[in-house]
Amino acid sequence: MREAAIAVLGTAALAAGGVATFVSSNGARTLPRGADRVIDLSGIMDDTRRCSHAEHPPAAAVREIFAIGGDGERVYALGLMQEEPGAGYLESTLDATSDSRSAFEQGQALTAALQIAPLVRPPGKAQLAEAVRQQLTPDGQIARSANRRRIAEQLLGALNEEATPSGE
C-alpha cells in the first residue's frame, strides 16, 4: 500500500505542480517553522483541491498518505479528506487533532472532522468530541487560536456536544 500511496502523491504532484516540492520517494519531509511554512501549506491545500476535482484517490490511499507522510503530505491528505469526506477518515482526523505537527495541520484536521462528523457512528463521535475537548483545555493547542476554537465549537455542535474543555 505504501508504494500505491507514493504513486498517488507522484501523480498528484505532476498534475498540480506545487505538491512536488513536498513529495519525496521515501514519502516524508518536515517543513521549516514560521510564515513560509504556512504559505507552503496553504499552497498544498490549493493544489489538493485542484487535484481532487480531477481524480480523487481511493480512501485507503489517502489514509496511507497521511500515515506515512511528512508535514506536507499529511496536510495534502487532510485536504483530500475534506474534498471527499468519509467515516473511514476518523482515525486520521483524531490523530491530526490530538497530535498535530502544526497549528495549520490541526486547523485542517478540524475542518475535515467537521465534514465527516455526520458520517461517523456514535462511538466515533464520542472519540472525536473528547479529542476536541482535550485540545480546548488551557494545555491544548486549540485554546491558542480563535479560528481553531471557532471550528472546534462548530464541530462539537455538529456532534451535539457542549463546547467546554474536559474537566471543567
pLDDT value at residue 51: 66
Can you list the alpha helix ranges (DSSP code H) found in the chain?
Answer: 2-16, 35-54, 59-68, 71-83, 90-98, 103-116, 122-136, 146-158
Per-residue pLDDT of the chain (168 residues; tens, 9 = 90+): 445 445 555 555 434 444 434 444 334 455 556 666 566 766 776 676 666 656 778 999 999 999 999 888 999 899 999 989 999 999 999 999 999 999 999 999 999 999 999 999 999 999 999 999 999 999 999 988 999 999 999 999 999 864 445 554
Looking at the structure, do residues 71 and 129 belong to the same domain, yes or no? no
Looking at the structure, do residues 97 and 80 belong to the same domain, yes or no? no
The x, y and z cell numbers of residue 99, run together, are: 497530535
Looking at the structure, do residues 34 and 103 belong to the same domain, yes or no? no
* Structural domain range at position 128: 90-168
Among 21, 52, 84, give the residue marking a domain's end.
Answer: 84
pTM over 0.75: no
Looking at the structure, do residues 100 and 76 belong to the same domain, yes or no? no
